[in-house]
Structure 1
Amino acid sequence: MATSPDRSDTDRPAHDATDQDPDTPFDHYAAGGWGSLRGVSEAFGESSSSTRALKILSKLNKPGGVMCSSCAWAKPAKPQTFEFCENGAKATLWELDTRRADAAFFAAHPLADLREMHDHDLEKTGRLTDPLRYDPDSDTYQPVSWDDAYADIGAELRAMTPREAVFYASGHAGLEASYLYALFARAMGHQNLPQSSNMCHETTSVNLQTFIGTPVGTCTLEDFDQCDAIFFFGQNTGTNSPRFLHVLKDAVKRGCRIVTFNPVRERGLIEFVDPQNPIQMTVGSATQISEKYYQVRPGGDIAAIAGLMKCVLDAEDAAPGTVIDHAFIASDTTGFEETAAAVRAMDWADIERNAGLSRDMIAEAAEIYLGAKNAIGIYGMGLTQHVNGWLNLGMLCNLLLMRGNIGRPGTGISPVRGHSNVQGQRTVGIGEKSSHMPADKLRELFDIDPPAGEGLNAVHACEGILDGRVKAMVLLGGNLVRALPDRDRMERAWPRLRLTVNIATKLNRTHLTPGQVSYLLPCLGRTDEDVQASGPQAVSMEDSLSHIYGSIGTASPPGPKVQSETAIVARIAKATLDPNPKLTWDDWIGNYDLIRDLIAQTFPDKFADFNDRLFEPGGFYRGNPARERVWKTESGKAQFTPPTTLSALGEETTADGKIMTLVTLRSNDQFNTTIYGFSDRLRGLEGSREIVLINRDEMARLGLAEGQKVSLVCAIDDGHARRVDDLTVTPYDLPAGCIAGYYPELNPLVPLSYHEKNSQTPAYKGTPVEIVA
């Protein structure tokens, strides 16, 4: 476990970005650097596919190569020599695994035995190679032919009413398979298309549309070359999007000032050493990323931003007409006066209490914002996964709009997405709303009458499973049972489903919870060569900054029976739907260019000349109206949002009570629910994931000892008991009233009903719990 270097209080500037509690674990080395290189080399050491992996990694995230299956960060037009990060290398090597979980493996391992394995070990059994059907008599998956699997799945789906089926997508599948999946659902007669964004950034998709008329962020890479300040809220760049650190390093070097608000001190936003810079790696010093780093209380972002806005209003009062962009506000926005009045009326004592920050700290940050001509707001799930996540986002929009910091070069608001194509899947129609896929185009192109009513998102689908309304779950990737809130309840309900279909590359825990009829279908990964009737195929995806890229896999598939995601989706659709001469599934399987032509016809404003632009360096930009100050809102203007509360929590906790606010985290050795290993190097933590992090003052207040075993109990009383046992108390630098632990291990503590009010995004970053010794 890493510890900090000796340092006296007099040596430590107040509120400095490196102001760390020296008496708790942390990694005192900068993000990147030798630690990142060691992480990559260790991943290679565990891999049995190093030779071909080196070839793929050399072209990873470059035109004509493979687009990383890890995060959704942008791929620059002029890539670095190595345009991948530690986690990108891990994800690539994980997929290139030469081990095989084949039919013989499953015949020898009943599901009851597999459930005793750790999630990490399940995926380490290797790539799936055979289509399988669950046999309840032997409690094993048994081989089945593809033709029989498709025929049976189609028959099961046809026997249901359309709304009894749910089609989930994990965010990995390319635009081609995703478009066919969305088309299949609507041709069948439902829009039950939940997606992994339902559990992370759906707060953005729903609420940003209301505030500025777009469901996605407004920035492009070029904006980071022109901004003067970047404000981060609830985002861990060092673990979740490490290639972003190169952009931030360059911005700092030219004078951009970065301010971070986050309950957890994350090394990537404190300092960074570029592993591709020999001078910095040897004799140079680390780049300090955040000039100011404030450990805001969980749920306290509303209060912190309210304080920033009060400072802006005070500066305007002191120098009228010179601070706030009155011309922009008058021409392009609505609701400013009401919002300003609500902020002015807020008491600083209430702001400080809810933010967990002093007025002086907030004023320091405000000075940086006021000194910037161009400012960008960046955020992650620390902002979206709250009951009042809508207001978190609204307040950040307010702050930016006050000085015209949306819709100009060097400005904007952007979430940093997680899964590699989670944003793109929404763009091509995966979603529960009619607006996600235009009905008029579907009628024109395919002669189908799509459903008018909205479908089920992830939370509503789970409610349907619990009460029996949902009969079938088809999962295009992912590990949904493990990722869901209220996991214990969902795991008990899952086997009551009539049909479960899992399309996957590797074994995970969701596959061990079969329905009455259950299939496990092996698919190609992003790195695998995909050869169809017309030859090798490319797939495509969209990054966090709305750019589209083509990707071509070159690795040998894990077995001759493995099929592409696109082919599997199309063949299930063909087996389920009545014949329709305009639904030419076989043609689309044989040539993905035809699917991209359909995408361009369905969404002509975003995908014109799709095939011609597929391998454009840096991707092609599909556009964003808010970037051009075209506001696709109800009023036709950007919307200021008056704050109605100072806390994003559904149930506010206090530092002197027994109830603590739980924040769930991903480690440096994981991606979503995939656990690569047990090293959380960037937080100075090693070994067990069954831990609860808490600061030493709170340990003393609650009578807890380091290393003590405790349980966490959900403090929401809705008739369902939620508890996780056998967690080890681990001191860590966190705000008062806050504890933290790993996702997905602590998901059972989060009620299905405890979510952001407009989007139903689970409140993983603000759940009230009690520690039971």
Structure 2
Amino acid sequence: MAKQKPREKSRVRIAPYDGPVGGWGSLKGVTEIMWREAVPLSDWPSLLKQNKSDGFACVSCSYGRPDEPGLFEICENGAKATAWEITDKRCGPDFFAEHTVAELESWSDLELEEQGRLTEPMRWDADSDKYVPCSWDEAFEGIASELRALEPEETVFYTSGRASLEASYMYQLLARLYGNNNLPDSSNMCHESTSVALPQTIGQAVGTVKIEDFKHTECVMFFGQNVGVNSPRMLHQLEAVRKRDVPILSFNPLFERGLERFTNPASPIKMLTGAETQISTQYHQLKPGGDLATLVGMTKTLFAMDQEAKAEGRERILDTDFIEKHTHGFDEFTAAMDQFLWRDIESASGLTRADIEAAAKVYGQADAVIACYGMGLTQHRSGVLAIQMLSNLLLLCGNIGKPGAGIFPVRGHSNVQGQRTVGITEKPKLAPLDKFAEQFGFEPPREKGRDTVEACQGVRDGSVKAFVSLGGNFIRAIPETEIMERAWRDMKLTVQIITKLNRGAIVHGKTAYLLPCLGRIELDRQKSGIQFVTVEDTTGRYHASYGYSEPASEHLLSEPAIVAGMAKALLPENPKVDWDGWVADYAKVRDAIATSYPEIFHDFNTRIKENPKGFDRPLPAREREWETPTGKANFISPRSLSEDPDLPATRLGVLTLITLRSNDQFNTTVYGLDDRLRGIDGTRMVLLMNEADMEEWELNEGDEIDLHGAAADNVPRVVRGLRVVKYNIPQGACGGYYPECNPLLPLWHHAKGSNVPAAKSIPVRIVKREGESDSLPLIA
């Protein structure tokens, strides 16, 4: 019997949610998805293996694990990601035989992925418009035939953040042996601003903070990081910080429950009593993109505090010894700060001078401060500059390179940082090309490859003709989705290496293959025995990850096996690259990684086996060693309070849209239609609005509107059928879910210097729908 399209909830319930993050709501969410995904009871104990030294690294976020993990070292979203992977639902040839691809185009992300795990390789058949089964050899040879007919620069090799170090290393080598550096990844969409900003300031592309620093910190600051949704396990550290009465300062346009209140679901006493921990001691609701101006204001306050302390003979606020010994450009930076006026700072930040000064005083009085940030900082036109300004603030008081202090970019997907470490990069200068040449006997391409934005531009102008994706749901994650989907269909080849059906499989090129792979949680049996893989967490620590569950299908191959299969079919034989040997024994891949990156991965196999808790990559800035051209940490003066010419501050009828994730999703994977923490149940098609803006537009809750792009290029962009929801959001701003609102984000609207799409500040206009459907029922 044919599987029918799942029905979305017929009733929508929107009402304020007054509970904390965690607590019984979190426990209920985990239980519900385990049952809904038909996870066998025998696999429920896998949750005990999650983020443990003898278990598997979470397949969702990349947050680090403490040296002494708890019994349940998981969060609600991490458990949902596990259930999503070990589900008992299957999406095999019988499903595809009953549905054309054109039919499946009308299905939502949730409806597609809820069909379960893919079970065998499939090829799109143009005559029937259906995916049909094919053998692995047929798939590999078909892909190779298409790629051989193209010039290397016409193909893009994309990677999501989920792939292991072993698979990522093999994949980048495949691309370079083929002849290009077209290796964009999900980092291009989120933390590339970090990778550009921090090397210029502190000499390394990743943060300096370890989990253990939270035990020693005297202040924690958050900028644009929704910890309750994107990295909930951090709340355990924040709970301990608050027990020590350490202040936490949060800066975010929306009040996010994870930065307000937390009930630890791992604590029986707190679950029984309902006891909550207040997280933020100050919560500053700034404008979208107002972080840069806020940081400038905090810096001016610190300078004033320091001058006052100096005049009164008190201990200085600035760490003058650190500044003199370890930094460069301080005098120029000081002069630059003098040029900014408080009235402009208040206008650009959305905060009062008093609020900014209050935050700066807490920061200036603490001896060790951790500054955490997420995509609320990186996904703006001024993203690179804002991160450098945050680095400036930390350098002023010596808050890099000492216990309890540092800069902490909280990365998203599980191994997104690690795959960049082993060569997934479009920038040749970041890969050891000379070492690759010596190691594998070929001349690597030296031309810069395409990042995510440039890959999209190539698809649109026809210069990219093939797209191979190792995981992810690229077509849903990128800007101006509808425009890109039209161009996507003109490509000659699309290949998806995935575990579940998603939009990227449905919107395809003229030749298309689905290559289903093992999930990280599944047992990976190869010729030398059961294999483990390795990942890097957001703190720069490497962990082994061991499979636990039986594979979803006997026909699945591991990601390394799929990469090797494509490489053997496509590339001429190379005696220095033992694809078969690497697949048979992943330890040999790790040996190759150690040869390519000896400073980081020397004795890789020995260290990963002898250190169950993992081992750390070198972090020079943590030791106050500055690998910059000046040999010191650099103050970088901001050119302005905003580099965003599209901000609608003076444009009548234009709002700034912030794209958001619900607590029922991770990246483009949507687990359900509820957002418990925002009180939204049964729909994702909403627009969160300030009450004053609703009055100005004569809108009521439940009114149905269309949201139009208001970018300066006047290209039509629209998302239709959003319900208006009154919400605590700054006037002039509005919020909508990602990826549903991606069609409104212009491809060219990205951070200067990093090309990260500026998804947190999209100019939009509201058009109210007329007719019978104007007001949709909202059940409170």
TM-score range with shorter-chain normalisation? over 0.9
Aligned equivalents of 1:143 and 1:47: distance in 2? 25
Tell me the equivalent position of 1:642: 637
Aligned to 1:755: 750
- 1:296 aligned to 286, 294, 309, which one? 286
2:307 to 317, 332, 340: 317
Superimposed CA distance per residue, residues 658-709 of structure 1 (whole angstroms, 9 cap, x where no aligned partner)? 1111100000000111110011111222221111100111111222221111
- Which one of the candidate residues 441, 452, 460 is aligned to 1:458? 452
Equivalent runs, 1:474-489 vs 2, <5 Å: 474-489=468-483
Give yes or no for the alignment of 1:53 onto 2:47: no
* 1:690-729 correspondence runs (5 A): 690-729=685-724
Q: Secondary structure at the match of 1:538?
A: strand
1:212 aligns with 2:202: yes
CA distance in 1, matches of 2:45, 2:61: 20
Question: Which residue does the alignment assign to 1:366?
Answer: 360
**Residue aligned with 1:39, SS:** helix
CA distance in 2, matches of 1:101, 1:45: 18
- Distance in 1 between the 2:430 and 2:88 partners? 38
Amino acid at match of 2:539: L
Who is 2:4 aligned against? Answer: none
For 2:541 and 2:254, the matched residues in 1 are separated by: 30
Supply the distance in 1 between the matched residues of 2:380 and 2:658 (Cα, whole angstroms). 10
Of 206-215 and 584-593, deviating more is 206-215
Please point out which of 508, 533, 558 is paired with 2:552.
558
CA distance in structure 1 between the aligned counterparts of 2:338 and 2:102, rounded to whole angstroms: 60
What root-mean-square deviation, in Å, do the aligned CA atoms of Structure 1 and Structure 2 show? 1.3
Which amino acid is the alignment partner of residue 605 of structure 1?
E
What are the superposed Cα offsets for residues 109-164 of structure 1, whole Å, 9 maximum, x if unpaired? 10111112121010011100111110011000011111111111112112211111
In 1, Cα distance between the equivalents of 2:656 and 2:196?
25
Whole-angstrom CA distance in 2 between matches of 1:215 and 1:643 = 19
Aligned match for 1:422, one of 398, 416, 420:
416
* Deviation (angstroms), 1:484: 0.6
For the Cα contact (< 8 Å) 1:300–1:648, is it kept in 2?
no
Q: CA deviation at 1:588?
A: 0.5
Distance in 1 of aligned mates of 2:95 and 2:88: 14
Matches within 5 A, 1:217-228: 217-228=207-218
> Which stretch has the larger CA shift, 359-368 or 579-588?
359-368
Instruction: Give the partner amino acid of 2:686.
Output: I
Residue equivalent to 1:27: 17
Q: Is the 8 A contact 1:301 1:648 kept in 2?
A: no
1:271 to 239, 243, 261: 261
Tell me the SS of whatever aligns to 1:275. Answer: coil
Find the residue that maps to 1:141 and give its secondary structure. strand
CA distance in 2 between counterparts of 1:215 and 1:151 reads: 38
- Asked if structure 1 preserves the Cα contact closer than 8 Å seen for 2:175 and 2:181, the reply is yes
What residue is the counterpart of 2:726 in the other structure?
731
Measured in 1, the distance between the counterparts of 2:544 and 2:733 equals 43
Q: Residue 400 in 1 paired to residue 394 in 2? A: yes
Instruction: Assess if the C-alpha contact under 8 Å between 1:631 and 1:638 holds in 2.
Output: yes
Is 74-83 or 627-636 further displaced after alignment? Answer: 627-636
2:113 to 118, 123, 135: 123
Aligned partner of residue 518 in structure 2, secondary structure: coil
**2:673 alignment counterpart:** 678
Give me the whole-angstrom Cα distance separating, in 2, the residues matched to 1:627 and 1:650. Answer: 36
Q: What are the equivalent positions in structure 2 for 1:345-744 lying under 5 Å apart?
A: 345-615=339-609, 616-647=611-642, 649-654=644-649, 657-744=652-739
Give 1:428 shift.
Answer: 0.5
Cα separation, 2, equivalents of 1:568 and 1:139: 25
d(CA) in 1 for partners of 2:573, 2:691: 66
Whole-Å Cα distance in 1 between the matches of residues 274 and 101 of structure 2? 53
CA distance in 2, matches of 1:659, 1:759: 26
Q: Distance in 1 between matches of 2:720 and 2:209?
A: 43
Q: Give, in whole Å, the separation in 2 of the partners of 1:610 and 1:77.
A: 20
AA partner of residue 483 (structure 2): R
DSSP 3-state at the match of 1:692: strand
Query: How far, CA to CA, are the matches of 2:214 and 2:691 in structure 1?
Result: 38
User: 3-state SS of the aligned residue for 1:751?
Assistant: coil
How far 1:243 sits from its partner (Å)? 0.5
Deviation at 1:354, TM superposition (A): 1.1
**Aligned-partner Cα distance in 2 for 1:205–1:253:** 34
SS of residue paired to 1:496: coil
Partner Cα distance (1:621, 1:52) in 2: 34
- Give a deviation string over 1:178-222, Cα, whole Å, max 9, x none: 000011111111000000011111111112111211111111112
Give aligned-pair identity as a percent.
Answer: 49
Alpha-carbon distance in 1 for matches of 2:701, 2:19 = 24
1:31 partner letter: V
1:497-542 per-position Cα deviation (integer Å, ceiling 9, x unaligned): 1111100000001111121111001100011110011000001111
1:601 Cα offset (Å): 1.1
> Mean Cα displacement is larger for which, 540-549 or 36-45?
36-45
Other-structure match for 2:9: none
Corresponding letter in the other structure for 2:639: T
Match of 1:62 among 52, 77, 92: 52
**Bigger mean CA deviation after superposition, 150-159 or 379-388:** 150-159
User: Is the Cα–Cα contact under 8 Å of residues 386 and 650 in structure 1 kept in the other structure?
Assistant: no
Q: Secondary structure at the residue paired with 1:635?
A: coil
The CA deviation at 1:653 is 2.2
Q: Which segment drifts farther, 151-160 or 81-90? A: 151-160
Deviation at 1:651, TM superposition (A): 1.9
Q: Which amino acid aligns with 2:154?
A: E
Between stretches 397-406 and 317-326, larger displacement belongs to: 317-326
**SS of 2:557's equivalent?**
coil
Aligned-pair CA distance for 1:327: 1.7
Matched to 2:574, the amino acid is N
Equivalent in 151, 164, 174 of residue 161 of structure 1: 151
CA distance in 1, matches of 2:731, 2:640: 20
Q: Distance in 1 between matches of 2:309 and 2:373?
A: 30
Q: Decide whether the 8 Å contact of 2:65 with 2:211 is kept in 1.
A: no
Superposition TM-score, scaled by structure 1 size: 0.95
* Runs (5+) with no aligned partner, structure 2: 1-13, 769-780
Q: Tell me if 1:260 matches 2:250.
A: yes
How far apart in 1 are the matches of 2:205 and 2:241? 26
SS in 2 for 1:537: strand
Preserved contact between residue 76 and residue 617 of structure 1 (Cα < 8 Å): no
Counterparts of 1:162 and 1:331 in 2: how far apart (Å)?
A: 48
Change (3 A) 1:655 1:686: farther
Q: Which amino acid aligns with 2:45?
A: K
Cα distance in structure 1, aligned partners of 2:700 and 2:329: 50
Q: Is the 8 A contact 2:96 2:132 kept in 1?
A: yes
Give the AA of the match of 2:699.
L
Contact 2:105 2:507 in 1 (8 A): no
Q: Distance in 2 between matches of 1:403 and 1:675?
A: 42
User: What is the distance in 2 between the residues matched to 1:449 and 1:650?
Assistant: 42
Q: Counterpart of 1:19?
A: none
Match for 2:238: what amino acid? L
Answering whether residue 75 of structure 2 is matched by residue 80 of structure 1, we say: no
In the TM superposition, what whole-angstrom CA distance separates every residue of 1:375-402 from its partner, at most 9, and x where no partner exists?
Answer: 1110000000001111111110111010
- Deviation of the 1:284 alpha carbon: 5.9
